[in-house]
C-alpha cells in the first residue's frame, strides 16, 4: 500500500440528492467541459446523485469500487430523463486499473474521491490514460484549511471525530488518525502536473453548509458568511477544485467560471 495512505483510511459517503454541493459543483465545472454528447467518466460515482446533474448532456460511464453503489447508480440513471443517445453505464472496478480503453473519454469528473484511493498517482495516471488528448478532468479534494476535518478522524479518547483545526496539524500527525487525506492547493496541483496534466483553473469551493441540521441557521450562513460558489478565504472552503487538461487535441482557451 502507498505509504501516504492514512492508517485509518475509509471509503467516502456520497452526497445526498438535494444537497447544495451537487448543484454547486455542476455550476462550477460545466462550462469547462466539452459539448453535449461527449463521453464523460465519473470516477468514484457513488450513488449517482452527482452524476445525475451531468446526465442530460453527456454519455456517462460511472466507476466505483463498491458494487452496492454501482447498483444504486444504475437505478438512478435509469430514472433520469435523458435525451436519445445519452446512454449511461455503471462499472465496478478493482480500485487499481480503470477498465476502459486508453483515450476513450472526452472528460472526467471526480469529486472528493482521491483522498480515499490506495494510490493517488496510479489513480490520476489512469484518468490521464483514458482521456483523449485535450480531454478535461474536473477534480475536487478536501481543503486542509477548512476549520473542521471533513471526513472525521479516529482520535483516542475523543468520541467526537470532527475536532476543530485538526486538519491544520502537521501532515504526519493528521494522517495517523484521519479517515481520509487532505490537501493544500499546491499539493493537488503538483500531483496532477506530475501525471502530465496542465492546470487550467483552480478555486476554493465555499462550504455548502449541507450538514447543518437547523434550516434557519443553514440558510443564514449561506446568505452571509458562505455566499457564492467560490471564496478567496481558504478557511471558508471545504474543498479545492482543479480543472486540468491532458495536452494535445484541439485545445483552445476556455472561459473561467463566474464567482
Q: How many Å separate Cα 119 from the centre of its chain?
A: 16
- Do residues 228 and 258 make contact, with C-beta atoms less than 8 angstroms apart? no
Residue 69 CB neighbours (<10 A): 20
Q: Is 50 exceeded by the pLDDT of residue 252?
A: no
Give the tens place of pLDDT for each residue, 167-211: 777 887 777 777 788 999 999 999 999 999 999 999 999 999 988
Q: Is 60 exceeded by the pLDDT of residue 155?
A: yes
pTM of the model: 0.86
Give the tens place of pLDDT for each residue, 70-109: 999 999 998 776 666 678 899 999 989 999 999 999 999 9
Coil, strand or helix at 64: strand
Banded pLDDT at 158 (limits 50, 70, 90): low
Burial degree of 77 (CB within 10 A; 0-12, 13-18, 19+): buried
pLDDT score of 220: 94
Banded pLDDT at 16 (limits 50, 70, 90): confident
Question: What topology is assigned to 20-245 in CATH?
Answer: Rossmann fold (3.40.50)
| Residue 153 to residue 147: CA distance in whole angstroms | 14
Banded pLDDT at 149 (limits 50, 70, 90): confident
As given in the structure block, the three cell numbers for residue 38 are 461527449
pLDDT score of 250: 62
Alpha-carbon dihedral sign for residues 68, 73, 79, 84: negative
- What lies within 8 Å, CB to CB, of 223 at 6+ separation is none
Amino acid at each position: 500500500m502507498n505509504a501516504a495512505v492514512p492508517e485509518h483510511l475509509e471509503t467516502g459517503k456520497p452526497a445526498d440528492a438535494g444537497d447544495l454541493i451537487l448543484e454547486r459543483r455542476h455550476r462550477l465545472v460545466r462550462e469547462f467541459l466539452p459539448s453535449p454528447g461527449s463521453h464523460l467518466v465519473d470516477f468514484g460515482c457513488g450513488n449517482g446523485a452527482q452524476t445525475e446533474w451531468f446526465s442530460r448532456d453527456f454519455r456517462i460511464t460511472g466507476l466505483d469500487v463498491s458494487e452496492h453503489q454501482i447498483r444504486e447508480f444504475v437505478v438512478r440513471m435509469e430514472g433520469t430523463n435523458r435525451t436519445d443517445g445519452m446512454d449511461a453505464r455503471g462499472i465496478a472496478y478493482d480500485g487499481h486499473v480503470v477498465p476502459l480503453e486508453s483515450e476513450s473519454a472526452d472528460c472526467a469528473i471526480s469529486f472528493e474521491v482521491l483522498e480515499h484511493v490506495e494510490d493517488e498517482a496510479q489513480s490520476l495516471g489512469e484518468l490521464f490514460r483514458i482521456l483523449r488528448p485535450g480531454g478535461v478532468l474536473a477534480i475536487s479534494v478536501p481543503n486542509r484549511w477548512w476549520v473542521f476535518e471533513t471526513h472525521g478522524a479516529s482520535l483516542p479518547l475523543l468520541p467526537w471525530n470532527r475536532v476543530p483545526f485538526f486538519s491544520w496539524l502537521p501532515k504526519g500527525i493528521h494522517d495517523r488518525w484521519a479517515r481520509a487525506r487532505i490537501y493544500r492547493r499546491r499539493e493537488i496541483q503538483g500531483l496532477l502536473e506530475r501525471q502530465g496534466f496542465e492546470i487550467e483553473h483552480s478555486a476554493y469551493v465555499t462550504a455548502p453548509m449541507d450538514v447543518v441540521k437547523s434550516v434557519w441557521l443553514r440558510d443564514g450562513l449561506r446568505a452571509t458568511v458562505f455566499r457564492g460558489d467560490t471564496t478567496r478565504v481558504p478557511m471558508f472552503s471545504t474543498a479545492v477544485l482543479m480543472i486540468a487538461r491532458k495536452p494535445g487535441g484541439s485545445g483552445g482557451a476556455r472561459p473561467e467560471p463566474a464567482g
